Structure 1
């Protein structure tokens, strides 16, 4: 466990290295530390930090850089979120100041704004609520053999897909099937809808339709798409800012990793409860509905592709509408104080926009 002075030196090494990208020497520290310490004393303290594995020597200079363990200690014990400058706050508000027809449009915009503000890769995940219900289903004929199926949920999700239908499912049967779905399933939680789709609904369709061939597959497909968690990624190309020419193959593999939605829950650690590496936050205000912010580093991903990366995630809560998440993926040497402060504020603004959306549609529907 570092002493108070060693912790101060470690925090300063992290700050200077993150700002400059250059190894930090004792002379630089002597001029930057808030208290006067001789260069010899600083070197002795740095030697202890190096023995403890918190800093490491750079091969190209005599300076030191934070190790992954050093970053972890800094994040767990020393980091202090920075205040967000007013112009940044105004830019967030301005970029969110649009009318949104679907909840996913807001979530997608969040990833775009966050990547633009930070010049890192941003990931956003919309609020997920186990109590989301089916609010409507309709089918519109487009021609002799095509229809568009539209499904809506109480979360504000609207999914529409074009399907080709067989001649066995005539217009009358299609209308009856839609009425059965709306009569039997609207108002039920999505999980119950999925259950009834394989238990009760097939029996009802067989009683009232000449043929339901293909309809259950059609409805099941559009339901699955509407209920799926939708991830949005902004600023993929920002990853190019942190790789060397000989690392392009690794970058290509990371691109492919981010394209796999099946991998993103593991990357974002969605299945894990909050852990000890969550950053302690100040008391919430009445308007702050912000879940824990956490940071994962290097080998904590269990993926060698990300050994030189850090991921800052912020969970947010939108009341009865559920929980979501935003994240920033960048190099290990990100300016964590600034970014954590930004993530706190950004989450607040995102939650406000989501509440605006839900409030508008609730009022509109009443």
Structure 2
């Protein structure tokens, strides 16, 4: 552990570096410390912090910059979330106070709000859908033997997909199958609708080949409806927040945020360190998988919508971000998003 004075100096260096992105010298620290300390004492304390690996000296200046270990100590022991300016509160409330028609619209807007407010890359995942039930299943004919399968769930979401209709299945057979499915599926949760239930519902009334085609179609729609919807906004901010100009590096970053399988691993918070019991978790670049994000930090916050499940919001930005402001934003925003979703779900009760 550090002494109180060393903690003050480390905190001052991090706060100044966050603002200027320039190495911080002893004179700058002395002018900003809330206590009176000589420059010689500050130099000695900075040397002690450097020995502990919490700050580093750059080649181009006599000043110091925070190390990864320094940021980690700061995040675990010193950081305090700040209250947001009033105009930020108003912006969030205004953007969330829209006539949303689906949960996914709210979650997608959440990612956009966070990206707009921070100029970082933002992620938002909707609440789990285990308790959501099916309220309707429809087939709409299009053209050239194409149909649209539409699934409506109890939370107001509408899932649809377009399929090419096999020639051996007629429109009348599809309509009859849809009536059968509605009789069997409406009122059941997404988890309850298994392949065996679908086969049992359709097998007695359609040929085996037709049943297999329809079961595959329904399974696809159900899979999409039950899958976690992850929305990403502000991908372009990866360019401004990266210190590496290599185009292949930038392409890899874009690939990372566009692939759901990579995102799931990146946003897995199972082993994250938690900040003093607070709701926002922070991982620095060295704590993230691979070297691709070594200059970034990932902040994740879980939100709860009661019986409707839990969701997640996250920000990916530079390591030298203003953590106090961003932590304050995420802690406030996760609560506002939960309130908005609870209000939305209340319309269907």
- TM tier, shorter chain? over 0.9
Q: Is the counterpart of residue 333 in structure 1 residue 320 in structure 2?
A: yes
Contact (CA 8 Å) 1:155, 1:321: kept in 2 or not? no
Q: What does residue 247 of structure 1 align with?
A: 246
SS at match of 1:168: coil
2:140 paired residue number: 140
Partner of 1:323: 310
What stretches of structure 1 of length at least 5 have no aligned partner?
A: 282-291
SS across alignment from 1:212? helix
More deviation, 26-35/132-141: 132-141
Q: TM-score, normalised by structure 2?
A: 0.95
Q: Where do residues 226-237 of structure 1 align in structure 2 (5 Å cutoff)? A: 226-237=225-236
Match of 1:265? 264
Q: Partners of 1:34 and 1:180 in 2: how far apart? A: 74
Q: Is the 8 A contact 2:151 2:160 kept in 1?
A: yes
Pairing partner for 1:309 from 279, 296, 318: 296
Alpha-carbon distance, 1:136 to partner:
1.9
- The equivalent of 2:166 in structure 1 is 166
Q: Is the CA contact 1:129–1:322 (under 8 Å) kept in the aligned structure 2?
A: yes
Aligned ranges for residues 123-202 of structure 1 at < 5 Å?
Answer: 123-143=123-143, 145-193=145-193, 195=194, 197=195, 199-202=196-199
Q: Does the CA contact (< 8 Å) of 2:274 and 2:280 recur in 1?
A: no
SS of residue matched to 2:147? strand
- CA distance, structure 2, for counterparts of residue 279 and residue 98 of structure 1: 35
Deviates more, 1:50-59 or 1:166-175: 166-175
Q: Single out whichever of 147-156 and 15-24 deviates more from structure 2.
A: 147-156
Deviation for aligned residue 1:269: 1.4
Deviation larger for 42-51 or 202-211? 202-211
- Paired position in structure 2 for 1:286: none
State the SS of the aligned residue for 2:44: helix
Per the TM alignment, residue 32 of structure 1 is displaced from its structure 2 partner at its CA by 0.1
Q: CA separation in 2, counterparts of 1:101 and 1:83?
A: 31
- In structure 1, the residue matched to 2:45 is 45
Q: Secondary structure at the match of 1:265?
A: helix
Aligned pairs (5 A) from 1:18-57: 18-57=18-57
Matches within 5 A, 1:69-148: 69-143=69-143, 145-148=145-148
1:126, 1:229 within 8 Å by CA — same for their partners in 2?
yes
- The answer on whether the counterparts of 2:242 and 2:318 sit within 8 Å (CA) in structure 1 is no
Q: How many residues align?
A: 347
Distance of 2:150 and 2:276 partners within structure 1: 42
Give yes or no for the alignment of 1:347 onto 2:334. Answer: yes
Does the 8 Å contact 1:169/1:212 carry over to 2? no
Runs of 4+ that moved beyond 6 A? none
The TM-score, its normalising length taken from structure 1, stands at: 0.91
Contact preservation (8 Å) 2:121, 2:317: yes
- The answer for the alignment partner of 1:8 in structure 2 is 8
SS in 2 for 1:138: strand
Change (3 A) 1:168 1:212: farther
Residue 280 (str. 1) matches residue 250 (str. 2) = no
Q: What RMSD over aligned residues (CA atoms) do the two structures have, in Å?
A: 1.6
Residue in structure 1 matched with residue 282 of structure 2 by the alignment = 295
User: Is the Cα–Cα contact under 8 Å of residues 273 and 281 in structure 2 kept in the other structure?
Assistant: no
Give unmatched runs, 5+ long, in structure 2: none
